[in-house]
Amino acid sequence: MDQKSLKSFADIVKKAVQQAWDTNAPAMEGRLESRISSNLERVIDEKLEEKIGRLPSKELFLAESDKLMAELKTIREETTIIPHQYKRLEKRTDNLESKVFGAIQQPN
């Protein structure tokens, strides 16, 4: 084959490939988009399942919440009781001190 016929053959092949590409490109793009979309959905689903799998069950969550609420209730009750106990003990201490120190000071 001479140079001119090789160039002509190359042009014919180039046109045939371009025509095939132009004809099949939209279908190939659609399939590619579909594959990317399905792979992306699969990866997202896997990651979401992995994250959700770490969460406690509803029953466990509610049981732990109940424990925390009971502890909070106890703390609040103690918070209201302690000042009253403190006042009562302070008053008693003052009375005892006045009796003890009053008795010590009287003989002098």
Task: Convert the pLDDT of each residue in 30-72 to its tens digit.
Answer: 788 888 888 899 999 999 999 888 888 899 999 999 999 999 9
Whether 28 contacts 20, CB under 8 Å:
no
User: Percentage of the chain with pLDDT > 70?
Assistant: 94
Strands (DSSP E) contained in the chain are: none
Whether 78 contacts 86, CB under 8 Å:
no
* pLDDT at 103 (0 to 100): 66
Whether 1 contacts 9, CB under 8 Å:
yes
Tokens of 1: 């084959």
Say if pTM beats, i.e. exceeds, 0.75: no
Identity of residue 41: E
